Structure 1
Amino acid sequence: MSAIKVILSGGGTGGHIYPAIAIANEIKLRYPDAQILFVGAKDKMEMDKVPQAGYDIKGLWISGIQRELTLKNLSFPFKLVSSLLKARKIVNQFKPDIAIGTGGFASGPLLQMAVSKGIPSLIQEQNSFPGITNKLLGKKADKICVAYDGLERFFPAKKMVKTGNPVRQDLLKIDNKKEAADELFSLKPDKKTLLVLGGSLGARRINQLIEKELDFLQIHNIQIIWQCGKLYYEKYKIYNHTKDVQVHAFINDMAMAYAAADIIISRAGASSVSELCIVGKPVIFIPSPNVAEDHQTKNAMAVVNRQAALLIKEEDLDVDFENKFSQLMASPEKQEELGKNIKGLALVNATKDIVNEVEKLLKN
C-alpha cells in the first residue's frame, strides 16, 4: 500500500491548532511514512506553530466575518473566493486520502473543497457549542468527533462519536511529580500553590484580578505561578519574585506547572477544560465573555453542573472572588471533591479514538 496522504486544517487559536497537531502526531506514530500537510490562515499563529511541530503548512487568505458592521467585512467575499480557489488547487495537487478539520477559518474552504471532490472527511469539534465553520461543515462531513454530550442540536447524530479533545500526552503522567515540579519552579513545599492561566496570549481581566488581590492571597499563605501572557508580561513582571509570586509570559512545561499546582484559576477554552479534567485539581473557571457564542461559559458550565469546578463570571469578580476563594481554601473536603469529580470527566484516549475514526474512514 502506498503512503497515506492526510490534509489537516485548523487554526486561529491554540484551541484549534494543538488538537490538529496531536492528531497528526498520532497518525505519524501509526503510519511513519504518511504524508501530512496542514492548511492555515495566512497571518495566524498556525503559520509558526505547525512548522515548529515539524509539519509543512500552506496559508489561505481568509479571516472570520465580524459580528458588527465593519469595513473588514467588505473584503470577506473576496477572501472567501480566493481561499476556495487556493484550497481547490492544494487539494488537486496534494491528492489527500482524507481531510481533517479542527475548526477555525481556514478549515471551512479546505474541507468544502475536499468534500466536493469526494474525499473522506472528519471534523473535530472541541467546544460544547460549535463555531460557525464546523456547524456548516457538519452537514457534509463523514464523521464528527465531539467532546461534550448534547450536540445533536447541531450535528446529525449518526455521524457523531464522543471522543473528547486531544491533549498533551505528558499530562497523563503528572501524579507523582509534585516534588520535582516544586524544585523546577523553586517553590516552598509548605505553601499551597496557585496556578493562574489566561491562555497563550493572556487574559486582561484575570491579570487585573490577580494584581488587585495579591495582598488578599498572601493572607492565605499562597505562592503563585502566574502566566500573564506575552501581551501583558512587560506590565506585570514587576511582581516577579515579590510576595511569593512568579510571573511568566508563557509556561513551556505545562505538565510540570499542573503538577506543582494545588488550585488553578483558568479560562475555559475547550483545550484548557479537557486538560484540567485530566489534571484533576480544584479549578475556578473565569470564562472569557469575548468569544463567539459565549462558548467558554458553556464549556465551564458543562463541568460546573457536575459539581466538578467553580465558576465566577468576569462581571462578578469584584463581588464574588474573595468570598469563593476563601471558602475553597477553608475546605480541604471541597478541594478534594472538585479534584475527584473533574478527573472523573476526563477522556484520556481522545487522540487515539479520533485516529481510530480516521482509520475507519480510510478503510471504507
Structure 2
Amino acid sequence: MRIIVSGGGTGGHIYPAITLIQAIRERVPEARFLYVGTSRGLEADIVPKEGIPFDTIELQGFERRLTLANFTRGFKAIAGLKKARRIVKEFRPDVAIGTGGYVCGPILLAASLMKVPALIQEQNVLPGITNRILSKFVTKIAVGAEAALKHFPREKAVFTGNPIRRAVMEASREDGLKEFGFDGDKLIVLVSGGSRGARAINRAMVPVLKEAKERDDVQFLHVTGKGEYEDIMNRLREAGVELSKAPHIRVEPYLYDMPKAMAMADLAVFRAGATGIAELTARGVPAILVPYPYASENHQEHNARALQEKGAARMILNKDLTAETLGDTLRELLSKPDELKNMAAASRQMGRPNAADDIADIVMKIAKR
C-alpha cells in the first residue's frame, strides 16, 4: 500500500499526521508513505527525523483582502498544483490524507482529480474555506468535533475525534508526579499557551503566581514557551516571586513530556487549538480556555465554545483576559471540587482517545486495492 500524507505549518497539523501514519503501519507494516509539506514549515524538520520520506511544494496561504502579494501567491498556487499532480503521478498512491495547513490543498485536489481516494482530517469545529471546497472532491472527511459535521456533505463526513499521541493515554498520574516532583494530595494546575507560548496568558499569570506563592495547597506548572521565558522570569522576580522558595510553583520554557504533565493535572489553562483540546478531553482534564484571537476564521473561539457548552471548560476571550478574570476563575473552580469533577466527566465524555485507530480503519476501507 502506498499513501501520501500532507499537513503542515504547525505541530497541530503535523503530529496528528504522524500519529495516523503510526496507526496505519500497525495494520499494514509494509505500507510506503510520502509526506508532502513545505520547506518553511515545521514539518521540514520534524518529518524526516521520524524516518518518513519527505517532499515539498512551495506555496503560501492567501491574505483575506485584495493585495499584490495575493497575485504572486496565485501563481505559486498554480505551480503548486502542477507539482502536486506530478508527485501523485510518480508516487502512484492508493490513498491520500490531508491533516490541515494550506499545503494539503493541492495534494488532495490533485489526488481527487486523478481518481485517487482522499481523506480530509478536519480538526476544528469551524472548518476553513479550503477544506470546505475540498470536501466536494474528496472521498471522506473525518471530523474532530461533532459540531463540524453540519459543514460537510452528510454522506462523506464521519465524527472520529482528532488523533492524539499514544503517549497521552499511556502516561499515568504517578508518572507525572514523579517527573515534576509534585504532591499527589494537592491540586495541580497546568498552564500552557502552546510550544511558542501565549503572551497574554503568561502575563496574566504573573499576579496569579504572586498570590499562589503565599499558599501551597495548589501547585502550578507554568509552561511559558521558549520565546517568553526570560520575560516572564524577569516579571516574576520584579513581583517578588522567588521560585527557589516556592517548590509548589514550577515555571518552564518548554516541556518535552507534556503527556505526563496532562496526566497529573486537575485543571488546565490552555489556548483552544484542536490538538491541545483533543489531548485534554482524551484525559478528561477540565480547562480554562483562552482562544487565540487571530486564528483563521476565529476557529479557536468556536472550539472553546463547544467545550464550554458541554460543561467541560470555561472560556475567557483574549480581550477579557486579565490577572483578575483569570485569578477569579481559577479561585472559583479550585474551591469547588464537585464542579471540577463534573467538568472532568464532561471533558472525558467528549474525548476520543481511539480517533487515530478509527481514522486508520476508514483509510483502509477507501484505499484503492
- TM-score, normalised by the number of residues in structure 1: 0.93
Q: In the TM superposition, what whole-angstrom CA distance separates every residue of 1:45-83 from its partner, at most 9, and x where no partner exists? A: 111111122211111111111224555324211210221
**For residues 89 and 368 of structure 2, what CA distance do their matches in structure 1 show?**
21
Residues 213, 98 of structure 1: alpha-carbon distance in 2 compared, 3 angstrom cutoff = same
In structure 2, the residue matched to 1:352 is: 357
**Taking structure 1 as reference, are residues 170 and 106 closer, same or farther at Cα in structure 2, changes over 3 Å only?**
same
Q: Deviations over 1:130-185 (max 9, x none)?
A: 112211111100111112224344211101111110001122234xx323322211
2:224 alignment partner in structure 1: 228
Partner of 1:271: 275
- 2:366 alignment counterpart: 361
Using the alignment, how far apart are the partners of 1:56 and 1:216 within structure 2?
Answer: 50
Q: Does 1:316 align with 2:311?
A: no
Indicate the SS of the match to 2:146. Answer: coil
The offset of 1:219, in angstroms, is 4.5
Identity of aligned residues (%): 38
Number of residue-to-residue matches in the alignment: 359
Alignment-derived partner of residue 77 in structure 2: 80
Report the Cα offset of residue 199 of structure 1.
1.2
TM-aligned CA distance change 1:142 to 1:182, over 3 Å: same
Match of 2:15 in 1: 18
Shift in Å at residue 246 of structure 1? 2.3
Partner of 2:291: 287
Query: Which residue among 208, 217, 223 is the counterpart of 1:213?
Result: 208
SS of residue paired to 2:100 = coil
Find the counterpart in structure 1 of residue 239 from structure 2. Answer: none
Give runs of aligned pairs for residues 140-289 of structure 1, distance below 5 A: 140-174=137-171, 177-219=172-214, 221=216, 222-238=218-234, 241-242=243-244, 243-244=246-247, 245-289=249-293
Q: Deviations for 1:85-128, whole angstroms, at most 9, x for unmatched residues?
A: 21111111111111111111110011111111111111110100
1:247 Cα deviation (Å)?
A: 2.4
Q: 1:269 to 1:237 in 2, by over 3 A?
A: same
Contact 2:193–2:201 (Cα < 8 Å) also in 1: yes
What amino acid sits opposite 2:12 in the alignment?
G
CA contact (8 A) 1:283 1:310 kept: yes
Find the residue that maps to 1:213 and give its secondary structure: helix
| Cα separation, 2, equivalents of 1:190 and 1:28 | 40
Cα deviation, residue 218, structure 1: 3.0
Q: Of 104, 118, 129, which aligns to 1:132? A: 129
Say if 2:124 and 2:148, in contact at 8 Å, map to a contact too.
no
One-letter code of the match for 1:121?
A
Which amino acid counterpart does residue 176 of structure 2 have in structure 1? A
Residue 157 of structure 1: SS of its match in structure 2?
coil
Distance 1:59 1:249 in 2: 31
The farther-off stretch of 297-306 and 253-262 is 253-262
> 1:248 offset after TM fit, Å?
2.3
Contact 2:200 2:321 in 1 (8 A): no
Letter in 2 for 1:300: A
